[in-house]
């Protein structure tokens, strides 16, 4: 992943979302230690305090927990929390935008669902 300093999202949010993605992809499992703030700072050429802020955000959301002196680790509930959060924030927001655009274009519900099925089928083919 490459961080984008020009993006509207702060760098620490980009870091936290990247770690969430790594958890969802299985790079980090339950009770696995995640990268330290210093490792993240080296990986992405950022200030360690910025990396720490991203890790702290995940700890506040109960995605990571702290083992004093050892670092941050993935909680049992991490994956479920991330899925719930992304589904209810990101995906819902994207869908609201899609529905508004479909309404502007005069696309009815059946056409929209058919388009979704086509896109989903295409993404499954891309995975194979």
Express each pLDDT in 39-75 by its tens digit.
Answer: 999 999 999 999 999 999 999 999 999 999 999 999 9
What percent of the chain has pLDDT above 70?
Answer: 92
Q: Domain-by-domain residue ranges, the chain?
A: 11-76, 79-127
Sign of the torsion formed by the C-alpha atoms of 18, 53, 43 and 39: negative
Query: pLDDT: is 91 or 106 the higher one?
Result: 106
**Mean pLDDT on 104-115:** 93
Q: Report long-range pairs for 52-57 (Cβ below 8 Å, ≥24 apart).
A: 53/12, 53/15, 54/11, 54/12, 54/13, 54/14, 54/15, 54/16, 54/19, 55/15, 55/16, 55/19, 57/12, 57/13, 57/16
pLDDT recorded at residue 61: 97
| Chain mean pLDDT for the chain | 91
The CATH number that domain 11-76 falls under is 1.10.10.10
pLDDT recorded at residue 7: 74
Tokens of residue 18, six digits:
């990247």
Among 29-38, 75-84, 113-122, whose mean pLDDT is lowest? 113-122
């Amino acid at each position: 992943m490459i961080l984008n300093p020009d993006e509207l999202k702060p760098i620490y949010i980009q870091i936290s979302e990247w770690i969430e993605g790594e958890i969802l992809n299985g790079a980090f499992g339950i009770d696995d230690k995640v990268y330290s703030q210093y490792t993240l700072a080296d990986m992405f050429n950022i200030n360690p305090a910025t990396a720490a802020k991203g890790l702290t955000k995940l700890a506040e959301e109960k995605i990571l927990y702290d083992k004093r002196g050892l670092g941050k680790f993935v909680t049992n509930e991490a994956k479920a929390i991330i899925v719930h959060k992304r589904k209810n924030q990101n995906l819902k927001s994207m869908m609201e935008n899609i529905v508004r655009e479909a309404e502007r274009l005069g696309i009815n519900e059946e056409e929209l669902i058919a388009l979704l099925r086509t896109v989903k089928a295409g993404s499954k083919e891309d995975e194979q």
